[in-house]
Structure 1
Amino acid sequence: MPSTEQRAPRPTGPAGPSGTAGITEGNALEFLVDNEAAWGRLAGDIAAARSSVRAMVFMLDAPYVRLAFERDPPAAVRPEVLLLEAARRGADVRLVLNHVTPAFSPANTTWPVERFFRRHDPEGRVRVRRLRTPQTLPIHAKVIVIDDRVAYLVGSVFSQEYFDGRRHLIEDPRRGAPRWRGALGVPVHDVSVRVEGPAVADLDDAVRLHWEHAEPSLGTPGGTWPRPSPGPAGKTAARVTRTLAGNGRFAGRPGGETGIRDSYLRALSAAERLVYLENQYLTCPEMVDALVGAVRRAPDLELILLLNIRPDVPYYVGWQREALERLLAGVGAAGRDRVGVFTLWSHETREGDGGGGRTRILRDHVHSKVAIVDDSWLTVGSANLDGLSLSHSQHELRRPPLIRLGRPLGAASLRGDPWQARASEVNLAVDGDEAGRLRRDLWAEHLGLPGGALAERPGGGWLGLWHERARSKLDGLRAPVPAVSDVRVLPYPHRDGRLPRRSDRPRDHLRALGVDPERVEVLERAGRRPRRGR
């Protein structure tokens, strides 16, 4: 399986060869599935903050984001308002913003955030700094540390279209009106984690590192702060892992860090029974080869992937297709019986149809970054399974036409080794029973089964259960009168390891599964009628 992306970077730095913190004992973790839960919990903790709130974010689309909807007035749950209120109570509030170049990028939300604080915080209580990053190498992690005792790893950017509940309704007014910064227009599935205990200090280190390398923007410049030392809050062992750019972006870490990649590779090399991945992207050849190696090495291993049919980054549609075909070819015909690739959908009876049988279906956007191995190890955080999040930017290495064209316009400013071009990512790796509990919670949502039914491996295996549930949904979609079920997953169509043409297009994707798109309304985006004849 030849590839142009085989060379592995070898980062160095004071955090160790991969930049991975040590294991901390005594943590309490709360996994927050979907942003109705995650954002609401975060809003409550910021509203209760007394001593400090420190954060770094990818995007904060002020003033259009509401973290929750049960409070009155709604302005009280805008994140920038919550931060200002905490500062007025005397908390030390610091915010690192991802200042993307070129400045006209939709991902650059620096100016509206700064405009809010200039207008409403003339005293400069909230301290803001910018970290300039090329569009292709952003701060992708979203880390918030509150009162030196609670930390959040939030999966989604703070853009209202990412708000969603566990039902993933096709139409949900809480996702807001379409914005020029938005690109999805579909329900979003995500996973975040709330942390208490000693691991909070390592998460705080990630914010501190970026704060120290950012440019003061608002408020007094402010130096560093004492490292928190929270005591035990639970019984869970956890390790904070990071990805950092090299090429001298961070002083003392000339080669950056690849701790998240290394954590994945260690876990996959020891997998024996189950690898479950749900992720926004799968484009990294090194990760694909590690999955192939795990399936070949362990004869009883089942690999289950939950992915998007349409990645939302330029060139990723083709690169993910290459990755999936590389995976399916690499495991061979026999190994493909132990590999399942699935997608996520919202499916409802059309409003006003009177139950007449005509239904509508819309792809969901999997934004989570979760891996579970053998119900004994998991990782969750901000890192996708693309090169940018793990080892090197595929855009910088391959230099596709859009990237080359953008350079004269300031769309990228990479200098140095493209193998050290990476985003800033933060994950949490966890050993123990938390892995099985999170798996059951996620699968209950996706498969439409109670969590108690997902504790013991069935006789036909976990992959057999996924195929069975996906097949039941397909049967309902193929029926003369299409039926809606609680199951939300469908198999990714392929034949002998080859994906059908245009499988990133919902109508063609479903047609390849034997679903007649003339009898089921196949939506491209929420609120938009389906196109005919595609």
Structure 2
Amino acid sequence: MNIAVEHIATDQPPDEAKARDLDYGWQSGNQVQLLENGEAYFPRVFDAMRAAQREILLETFILFEDKVGHELQGILIEAAQRGVKVVVSLDGFGCGELSAAFLAALADAGVMVQMFDPASKTLGIRTNWFRRLHRKIVVVDAEVAFIGGINFSADHLGDFGPEAKQDYSVQVTGPAVADLHHFALAQSGRQVRTRRGWRRRQQRPSPWATDSGEGLVRLIYRDNLQHRDDIEEAYIYALSKAKKRAVIANAYFFPGYRLLREIRNAARRGVQVQLIMQGQPDVLLAKLAARMLYDYLLKDGVVIHEYCQRPLHGKVALVDDDWSTVGSSNLDPLSLALNLEANVLIRDRAFNQQLYDSLETLSKNHCQVIPAKQKPRLWLWRLTVGFLVFHVMRHFPALTGWLPAHKPRLKPFESQAHD
């Protein structure tokens, strides 16, 4: 049996008047719920999918054929069979091990399956490492949306064992869902129809809402066109406004100098700045890279915790009492300079406190504090090396033709599945 898995390109605008270059402004009157780990996330998103009446849009970096993946597959098949429009967008690297039979079952049921930049292995090695579709977004019936860092895999559940990931997503209801819905439709290559509750923004909105009301939400994203730095700029701007506290919990921490400087400057002016890093990383290089920056930050009063219970996979932050962000973007060169990412910014005191309480429990009970040295050694050397590595990573793919700095185009991808 032949199945067609579309090859999608979210690096370039669609046909409709180059209007993919859109900015999403702050929307008020939303309800945002923090979902910590798969135990909270999977039941909530699966219940929403089971109740879907018209449409399910799903983007994910990783989908595995494990108990979570098979449950998701069954829910999507059942939804498609009862007439729900189901569009699933997968990354060709993160989902590269999915079997043709698994994809065929979805396609045969009417699920529209799309793969971003699929590539076969060369000498047993995957070659499509860079410019990944790293977003994790689900929108159901244009009424409820989920966004964050949790993939559809069993390693986000505690019973997976010591390698189970610590991570976060949010459920959003309210006017901001229209923006998430419009974005997910546009990025999937589907026809976008302007609907009530969504409007095109002519000027890029500030990363900081002018009002401090409750339930304010703004979608921000990173692409390789005109939104290359939006997520990084949002962090920098929020930290520049910080007056009381700032907490960043990030799995892969190796940001550029501007963001590092803003973290340091906040601590210098008396803001309580806390970083929660990986202590037991799933990628050892991530821990080594982050530690190159510790001395630079510690000497100015930044408090650094390493989470040691299991791998940290979260990408969350908060500033003061009402600004927060949750999403897919790490603070490393891959996320900040190459991958396709999406976060939500949230201005809501109750949500900010909920996230703060969760991170405070994490830091107090499951982390070790990195002590500040009286005389930091080699911090300037480490910073210099880090600066060079970051900018090499940032520009090298665009300068070398053999690395995937290309712009994939829509074309069918044929795969064989056997009954």
TM-score using structure 2 length: 0.73
Alpha-carbon distance in structure 1 between the residues aligned to 2:339 and 2:229: 10
Alpha-carbon distance in structure 1 between the residues aligned to 2:78 and 2:293: 47
**2:289 counterpart residue number:** 319
Q: Is the 8 Å Cα contact of residues 240 and 262 (structure 2) preserved in structure 1?
A: yes
**2:183 counterpart residue number:** 206
Residues 101-135 of structure 1: CA distance to partner in whole angstroms, max 9, x if unpaired?
xxxxxx334642x522424653x511111110731
- Tell me: CA distance 1:378–1:15, structure 2 relative to 1, closer, same or farther (3 Å): farther
Question: Of the candidates 154, 163, 173, which is equivalent to residue 196 of structure 1?
Answer: 173
Q: Is the 8 Å Cα contact of residues 156 and 190 (structure 1) preserved in structure 2?
A: yes
Alpha-carbon distance in structure 2 between the residues aligned to 1:120 and 1:205: 24
Whether 1:241 and 2:244 are equivalent positions in the alignment is: no
Question: Of the candidates 97, 110, 113, which is equivalent to residue 128 of structure 1?
Answer: 113
Q: Which runs of 5+ in 2 are unaligned?
A: 1-12, 119-127, 199-212, 379-419
**2:368 counterpart residue number:** 490
Whether 1:226 and 2:193 are equivalent positions in the alignment is: yes
Whether 1:302 and 2:272 are equivalent positions in the alignment is: yes
**1:118 counterpart residue number:** 104
Alpha-carbon distance in structure 1 between the residues aligned to 2:51 and 2:40: 17
Whether 1:29 and 2:32 are equivalent positions in the alignment is: yes
Whether 1:92 and 2:95 are equivalent positions in the alignment is: no
Q: Is the 8 Å Cα contact of residues 28 and 216 (structure 2) preserved in structure 1?
A: yes
For the residue of structure 2 that corresponds to 1:25, the secondary structure is coil
Q: Aligned-pair distance for 1:230?
A: 5.8
Question: Of the candidates 380, 389, 398, which is equivalent to residue 326 of structure 2?
Answer: 380
**1:70 counterpart residue number:** none
* Residue type of the alignment partner of 1:304: Q
Alpha-carbon distance in structure 2 between the residues aligned to 1:427 and 1:120: 28
- Tell me: CA distance 1:140–1:438, structure 2 relative to 1, closer, same or farther (3 Å): same
* Residue type of the alignment partner of 1:366: L
CA RMSD, Structure 1 to Structure 2 (Å): 2.8
Residues 157-180 of structure 1: CA distance to partner in whole angstroms, max 9, x if unpaired?
22211213xxxxxxx3xx27xxxx
Which structure 2 residues correspond to residues 33-182 of structure 1 after superposition, within 5 A? 33-62=36-65, 64-66=66-68, 78-100=71-93, 107-109=94-96, 111-112=98-99, 114-119=100-105, 121-122=107-108, 124-132=109-117, 134-164=128-158, 172=159, 175=160
For the residue of structure 2 that corresponds to 1:189, the secondary structure is coil
**2:311 counterpart residue number:** 365
- The count of corresponding residues between Structure 1 and Structure 2 is 338
- Tell me: CA distance 1:375–1:92, structure 2 relative to 1, closer, same or farther (3 Å): same
Alpha-carbon distance in structure 2 between the residues aligned to 1:496 and 1:108: 46
Q: Aligned-pair distance for 1:293?
A: 2.1
- Tell me: CA distance 1:275–1:143, structure 2 relative to 1, closer, same or farther (3 Å): same
Structure with higher Rg: it is: 1
**1:293 counterpart residue number:** 265
Q: Is the 8 Å Cα contact of residues 56 and 139 (structure 2) preserved in structure 1?
A: yes
* Residue type of the alignment partner of 1:207: A
Decide which moves more: 124-133 or 47-56. Answer: 124-133
* Residue type of the alignment partner of 2:48: D
- Tell me: CA distance 1:82–1:262, structure 2 relative to 1, closer, same or farther (3 Å): same
* Residue type of the alignment partner of 2:43: G
**1:460 counterpart residue number:** none
Q: Aligned-pair distance for 1:81?
A: 1.0
- Tell me: CA distance 1:31–1:307, structure 2 relative to 1, closer, same or farther (3 Å): same
TM-score using structure 1 length: 0.58
Q: Is the 8 Å Cα contact of residues 61 and 109 (structure 1) preserved in structure 2?
A: no
Q: Aligned-pair distance for 1:443?
A: 4.0
- Tell me: CA distance 1:120–1:162, structure 2 relative to 1, closer, same or farther (3 Å): closer
Q: Aligned-pair distance for 1:439?
A: 3.3
- Tell me: CA distance 1:494–1:28, structure 2 relative to 1, closer, same or farther (3 Å): same
Q: Which runs of 5+ in 1 are unaligned?
A: 1-11, 68-74, 101-106, 165-171, 177-184, 213-222, 246-252, 346-362, 393-421, 448-468, 470-486, 501-534
Which structure 2 residues correspond to residues 384-423 of structure 1 after superposition, within 5 A? 384-390=330-336, 392=337, 422-423=338-339
Q: Is the 8 Å Cα contact of residues 201 and 227 (structure 1) preserved in structure 2?
A: no
Alpha-carbon distance in structure 2 between the residues aligned to 1:443 and 1:207: 29
Q: Is the 8 Å Cα contact of residues 117 and 126 (structure 1) preserved in structure 2?
A: no
Q: Aligned-pair distance for 1:423?
A: 0.5
Residues 463-520 of structure 1: CA distance to partner in whole angstroms, max 9, x if unpaired?
xxxxxx5xxxxxxxxxxxxxxxxx22221245237599xxxxxxxxxxxxxxxxxxxx
* Residue type of the alignment partner of 1:42: V
Whether 1:277 and 2:248 are equivalent positions in the alignment is: yes
For the residue of structure 2 that corresponds to 1:129, the secondary structure is strand
Q: Is the 8 Å Cα contact of residues 382 and 425 (structure 1) preserved in structure 2?
A: yes
Q: Is the 8 Å Cα contact of residues 280 and 312 (structure 2) preserved in structure 1?
A: no
- Tell me: CA distance 1:20–1:369, structure 2 relative to 1, closer, same or farther (3 Å): farther
User: Percent of aligned pairs with the same residue?
Assistant: 25
- Tell me: CA distance 1:131–1:110, structure 2 relative to 1, closer, same or farther (3 Å): farther
Alpha-carbon distance in structure 2 between the residues aligned to 1:271 and 1:227: 36
* Residue type of the alignment partner of 1:263: A
Q: Is the 8 Å Cα contact of residues 308 and 365 (structure 1) preserved in structure 2?
A: yes
Residues 69-94 of structure 1: CA distance to partner in whole angstroms, max 9, x if unpaired?
xxxxxx6xx11111111111110000
Q: Is the 8 Å Cα contact of residues 23 and 238 (structure 1) preserved in structure 2?
A: yes
**2:230 counterpart residue number:** 259
Alpha-carbon distance in structure 1 between the residues aligned to 2:175 and 2:375: 45
Alpha-carbon distance in structure 1 between the residues aligned to 2:86 and 2:375: 52
Q: Which has the higher contact order (CA 8 A, sep 6+)?
A: 2
Alpha-carbon distance in structure 2 between the residues aligned to 1:81 and 1:291: 45
Alpha-carbon distance in structure 1 between the residues aligned to 2:293 and 2:106: 48
Alpha-carbon distance in structure 2 between the residues aligned to 1:289 and 1:440: 23
For the residue of structure 1 that corresponds to 2:29, the secondary structure is strand
